[in-house]
Structure 1
């Protein structure tokens, strides 16, 4: 995949991911808004129900008090009846039938919509003509009683009209205990199990009266709350009294209600962002690996091409009959073929070793090894290459105990690879220094050079497979980019560590720690 296509793909994925995140935030905002509106609606409905019930109870109490004053007690009515009948001789008395045990009954109907009162009075007497003849004064008494009742009815109508206009005495119309009970019941009926403070406010003057409030500190919050209802909605001239409720923990309550969908949405967003980030990293990494492998193929072709060409030339030369007569020249070409063949074998072996390390089936042969002996043998081999470039190599083998358990072959390869890199990455005549020292648990080997050095970006990647500080099509440094990856793997299989310090343009220092025992 080309670099441009990768950029387009990442761009489209980024736009899609950003759009999804924006949509999720919008959805969360809408869910929060809906929960808040539902909560407000439930509270407002509860407040309206409380004020309506309070108003109806207030009207009922008023009528019961006013009408009961009009009705004489049952004993008094019985006394009046007996007194009236006893005026006649016993032989002229007749029993009085009643439709009801009460002497007087009434029917009161209130039309709150049109503010009308229908009041029907029934004395409860089934008076026939012969009763009137038997008790001639009874009809007159009944008429007088009806007149009294009508006068009282007009008084009730007047009192009711004044009641509908509304009393100015707030606390004579509101029972704090009853108000508190109604509020608790209506809130509970709507599933609002939340602490609240309430009060009665008068908007016109800004005066605030609090009834049974749990905290005086909430005075301003109650006054400014949007959760309010007219306290006396049935008054003909409604007063500016409002029942106001404030919930101190309303935000926490709403957040708790939406916690599950919000948490699920947040978790999904994090998963999507993580997957997206991982996908982008994998795409870029695969692109990088593809480029490095291409460089590796180019480098490997170059590394194999040179010895193959050399062997080919030597073989052609040996085919010359005249040349074969000179044994010295023949031996020389045979040695060249042998050396180049060995070189090819080493390159192939290096690739195979890396492949074995990847498969995790690579096994080391641990035995007692002298680090100093291994370093000295490696110095003999690398010194020839350094001298060809007019360079120098020095050593300070200061470790008092250089004996460790290691694989001698691979430990030799480690030292040689590090020395070879120090030589190859020194553009000027190389200056290489190797030093050993002991710590309580093992041996430390330091290899320093004054070569090209490395940037911070290179330092972070030099132990990756196929990575080369000099990449691209310019083959200015020989190698496959496998050396340091191989070194790191072998060191770690010895339970050791490797690190590097480098300044660009000033050189590098590799530090290898190998424990006495690999277990």
Structure 2
């Protein structure tokens, strides 16, 4: 991935996640406030109903004081039956679904000391009032305390808390993915730099061998067959080095030398370079260039190398006499080119992998054709950099057809 694309992905992903977190935080805050207000409202209604019932006989005014978010005090200044108070509060809480434990306290009104206390476990059961006369003849007030109010409110908002935790996990995963991606990008850059430096260093001895071959070739004689072997091997090595350099330059986003080109002329030039080699194997290379328009914008060197790779593969993977055809047609603003052969073909299960770097189709436990597995990966990179596409269809023992599309100039 190019640096600017990676930066764009990080910025866009960060903005989206930040927006989601702000929206989630806004709604979570609203839900917390609404849940707290609803809880306070239900408690006030319940205690007010209890106070009304208790005040019928005493005639004292009703007032529920929320001293803290989990502590409510009701100044009754009335005689309170302790058991009856327990049952009344439990009944009113059950009506409103307040299913959480609470503590009841009854205080002497004149000296403000606790004269009765009870802890009631969470229940939604509505008890019947017990005719119990236990209580105090002195005037009293009562209070209710909720020791587990926070956990109760959290339970009421569990779906919102779950979505918030999920979002935080997503943010954490995104951060981990970005760190891993940056680390992989750094390693990839180091690898590409190493490949580029190594191939550049190899160019020097290759050039020296070429110069030495030209000098020695002037003497001719019995050494000529060996010199021809050196020349062939050296040219093959030079092609491989150039291919690796070109692939690395494309991956690093090097600027292409775009110009208006006639694709038919390029195909004819590539075909001519292979005619002798194919003729030696008693094969045939046919050109069926039927496209009405064949001009494209592209990098001449890269396109020539890409098409040479396709023809080279078609020739190498043909077992007997290679029969290769190059066809073209134009339609809807693009030109389509087909490179077909009648070679050994590619298994269906492997056809999606042939464009991967370093992947090579093998038979049994050995590779039948020498190579690095860079050819088709390089070809795909070239056509992708030209806003084109490439696809492959193949059948074992029947041959392979590679289709390439490029936008017309």
Q: Aligned-pair distance for 1:398? A: 0.8
CA drift at 1:513? 1.4
Contact 1:386–1:393 (Cα < 8 Å) also in 2: yes
Given the superposition, is the C-alpha separation of residues 54 and 442 from structure 1 closer, same or farther in structure 2, using an over 3 Å criterion?
A: closer
Aligned equivalents of 1:355, 1:468: Cα separation in 2: 19
Task: Determine which of 216, 220, 237 is the counterpart of 1:344.
Answer: 237
Match of residue 265, structure 1, among 140, 144, 165: 165
CA contact under 8 A between 1:51 and 1:231: conserved in structure 2? no
- SS of 2:235 mapped into structure 1: helix
By how many angstroms is 1:489 displaced?
2.2
Tell me which residue corresponds to 1:360.
253
TM-score, reference length from structure 2: 0.54
Match of 1:467 in 2: 359
Checking the alignment, whether the CA contact within 8 Å between 1:55 and 1:233 is kept in structure 2 is no
| Higher helix content, 1 or 2 | 1
Distance in 2 separating the partners of 1:279 and 1:505: 47
Structure 1 residue 437 displacement after superposition: 0.5
- CA displacement, residues 230-256 of structure 1 (integer Å, 9 cap, x when unaligned): 4644457xxxxxxxxxxxxxxxx9776
Cα deviation for residue 345 of structure 1 reads 1.9
> What's the CA shift for 1:375?
1.7
Contact 1:395–1:435 (Cα < 8 Å) also in 2? yes
Q: Secondary structure at the match of 1:394?
A: strand
Q: Which residue does 1:241 correspond to in 2?
A: none
Counterpart of 2:54? Answer: 56
CA RMSD of aligned residues (A): 5.1
Distance in structure 2 (CA, Å) of the matches to 1:361 and 1:282: 20
Instruction: Determine the structure 1 residue equivalent to 2:268.
Output: 376
What is the alpha-carbon distance in structure 1 between the residues aligned to residue 323 and residue 129 of structure 2? Answer: 100
1:213 matched residue in structure 2: none
Q: 1:508: which partner in 2? A: 400
Q: Deviations over 1:483-512 (max 9, x none)?
A: 222222222332222222234554322111
Q: 1:345 to 1:276 in 2, by over 3 A?
A: same
Change (3 A) 1:511 1:328: same
Q: 1:489 to 1:111 in 2, by over 3 A?
A: closer
- Show CA shifts across 1:320-373 (max 9, x none): xxxx7xx55345544443333322222221222222223222432524x33222
- Residue 124 of structure 2 corresponds to residue 227 of structure 1: yes
Change (3 A) 1:55 1:348: closer
Counting only pairs closer than 5 Å after superposition, residues 429-448 of structure 1 correspond to structure 2 as 429-448=321-340
Q: 1:439 to 1:484 in 2, by over 3 A?
A: same
- Residue in 2 that maps onto 1:453: 345
TM-score (norm 1): 0.44
On the 8 A contact 1:438/1:444 being kept in 2, the answer is yes
Shift of 1:480: 2.0
Identify, as 1 or 2, the structure richer in strand: 2
SS at match of 2:369: coil
Residue 234 of structure 2 aligns to a residue whose secondary structure is: helix
User: Which consecutive unaligned segments of at least 5 residues does structure 2 have?
Assistant: 1-34, 60-77, 98-122, 134-152
Within a 5 Å distance, the mapping from 1:404-415 to structure 2 comes to: 404-415=296-307
SS in 1 for 2:307: helix
Q: Find the aligned partners of 2:302 and 2:311 in 1 and give their Cα distance.
A: 14
Q: Does residue 315 of structure 2 align to residue 420 of structure 1?
A: no
| Partner-residue secondary structure (3-state), 1:343 | helix
CA displacement at 1:56 relative to structure 2: 2.8
Partner SS for 2:335:
strand
Larger Rg: 1
Partner of 1:401: 293
